Amino acid sequence: MTHIVQKTTLDNGVRVVSESIDSVQSVSIGIWVATGARFEEESRRGISHFLEHMLFKGTERRPNAKDIADEMDAVGGYLNAFTDKEYTCYYARALAENLPLCVDILSDMYSNSRFDPEETARERKVVLEEIKRRDDDPDDLVHDLFAQTLYKQHPLGLPVIGTAEVVAALEPHDLREYMARHYGPGGVIVAAAGNLEHQRVVDMVNEHLGGLSGQSEPPVHEFPQASLDVLAYARPTEQVNFCVGVPAYGQFDEDKYALAILDTVLGGSMGSRLFQEIREKRGLAYSVGSYAAVHREGGYFAAYGGTSPDTYEQCLELVREEFRKVRESGIEEGEMERAKAQYRSGIVMKQESMSSRMNRMGASEVYFNRVVPLEEVLESINKVTHDDVLRVASKIFPEDPGQLTVAAVGPFKKPRASRAKKASKNGAEAGITATAAAGV
């Protein structure tokens, strides 16, 4: 069984990276573009995500969405896309023999989408319904609200999905203009993994995208400045869904590996501290955990959960207490070993999926202009020490556990000023905002 990663850059700047794995019978291939929600102008918030939808709505050769879907369905393949804050990916999965069709369809969508006015109007309604669905789902909404509260003056704080006001006004000419500025070959990466030959992939991509032209405007990168604030977003729900956290590290900071260990110990598994303290010992929540969002210049660490309104403050206090403990004492030896084992097994088991391999290569090229070897990542995790974790915890978690950014969605009746005063100790900017108090 061979696993070979290769990279070729076409004359127009399109990068082609592939991993050949001869023990499988499938392929996963994606066209990545190094632009996303954080690079949008204020009047275009949500255009990256809307454009992602519209590329499935018809080309000159495949005039409507059903033509595209039927052609992929006919070979048992799968076609989809996703938009993130710093990149967008259009991808397909299929049997290896159908790789040429995948390249053809994806390239046709990327290069020749029609943006028919009627299709645009119809899909605009679909995205507006998607925004409503997000707004009606408090355990999804709270994460967007947390990012907005933490990075309220930076595009990283804005939701990928955009706003209803902007999406409702987007027209075909806006999409074409955005593509002309950001979808040029210099920002395009084609990543593929599975039973394939690299040169054959290069030849196919060159045939379909070798003539691609246009701009890839250099994105403006600014380090985000965090705001200490507490947002109570009123909704007539049975639970309070909350997110509490701090600014953390970006993709180019080696401390992201120590943060990954800390994340695993605090909320990354059923054996984690938060899961044990909040769910297992006290039965206060069904869903509880933590995660690290790692972007180009910065990121954040957050704990989250959902609990009854009368136990919300207790859950917050338990989270603060666990933050305080790791800040003062770090983690135990057994926790370190378990966290490293979980991280290693997680990343290695993902390699059994061709889509995971493709995604890892694509994102790695976006950030580092190279595919970071798996061995390099594992070595970085293995080198994390107790001192590293303690240093990171001491740096990101404040000495006063009240100095944390919090977002919560629940049946709040009115702002609680006492909590804001507690959070504003030492002169930090803080406050509570209660909005959309629908029926409470």
| Length of the chain (residues) | 440
Residues 6 or more apart in contact with residue 386 via CB below 8 angstroms: 330, 331, 333, 336
Task: Tell me which residue has tokens 């987007």.
Answer: 170
The catalytic residue among 19, 52, 123, 335 is 52
52 in catalytic set: yes
- Active site (catalytic) residues: 52
